[in-house]
Amino acid sequence: MQQGLLLGGMALLAGCRNGQPAKTAQIAWPNQDAPSPTPPWTPPTRQVEPLPPTPGGYYSLPSNVIPRSQWTDQGLIKSRLTSNGQDGKMGKILRITVHHDALDSSRINTRGEAMRRLQTVRQGHITRRPEPFADIGYHFVIDPMGNVWEARSLYYQGAHVKGQNENNMGIMVMGNFEFQRPTSAALQSLDSFVAQQMRRYNVDMRHVKTHQEMAPTECPGQNLQRYMVATRGRGGNMARYA
């Protein structure tokens, strides 16, 4: 049943990526009580130390990130890369965009379950119509346990904000945050990891956005959107770590 729900939810993935409002209003996940439309928000109180700067080359993988090879042996389909004069290469990283996958993550409690979700998202992206992607659209993914996964190679542009993927790092948090709330572990990793990338690539807070701040979409969902507004503000964790 769970697999059927995930496959059935692939339309939501395409909605987020296309810059169109994700049609999530009628979803009721089984065995899960949906929060009220406007739940009160209390940021997590436990503080974590920011991650150290990453050594190595410009696109090198941070040591705290689980490499792509742990969840797939499939490569990127280069013939589908956006033609922008650089053969789909990322170039200099100038901005960061935060997303959700609009799929229920309440049953993701192990790395194995997170790996299956990554495979599901990638499959939805490379088989979408009418414009299949070259690979999973994001560069990094954060699971509910707070693990950070390598998705698409940072060497290549992502496919996460239509028409605005150039020089744009895409980071996705697993979950449907129109109805769920991100776990404290996921938020702590998001704050620390985004701040690390800001320092590494000299990206200021003005260029850390959510999908809905760049396109007409519900992504990353009202609960993560509310948190992003707070954490980037004065005294917020992300602002303090950056």
pLDDT in tens, 94-153: 999 999 999 999 999 999 999 999 999 999 999 999 889 999 999 999 999 999 999 999
Confidence grade of residue 16 (pLDDT, cut at 50, 70, 90):
low
* Domain-embedded: residue 64: no
* Domain-embedded: residue 199: yes
Q: Which residues contact 48 (CB under 8 A, 6 or more apart)?
A: 188, 191, 192, 237
pLDDT given for residue 237 in this prediction: 95
C-alpha gyration radius of the chain: 17
* Domain-embedded: residue 216: yes
Question: Stretch 16-40: mean pLDDT, rounded?
Answer: 39
pLDDT given for residue 199 in this prediction: 96
* Domain-embedded: residue 110: yes
Question: Stretch 7-22: mean pLDDT, rounded?
Answer: 48
* Domain-embedded: residue 229: yes
The CATH number given to whatever domain includes residue 124 is 3.40.80.10
* Domain-embedded: residue 65: no
* Domain-embedded: residue 137: yes
Q: How far is CA 230 from CA 145, 183, 223, 233, 240, in A?
A: 21, 16, 11, 5, 12
Q: Domain total for the chain?
A: 1
Tracing tokens 């280069």 back to the chain, one arrives at: 78
The model's pTM: 0.81
Q: Give the pairing of strands 208-210 and 65-66.
A: unpaired
How many CB atoms are located within 10 Å of the residue 237 CB? 23
Count the alpha carbons within 13 Å of 157 in the hemisphere toward its beta carbon.
22
Mean pLDDT of the chain: 83
* Domain-embedded: residue 148: yes
Confidence grade of residue 242 (pLDDT, cut at 50, 70, 90):
confident
pLDDT per residue as tens digits for the range 216-240: 999 999 999 999 999 999 999 999 9
Task: Give the structural domain span for 142.
Answer: 2-20+91-241
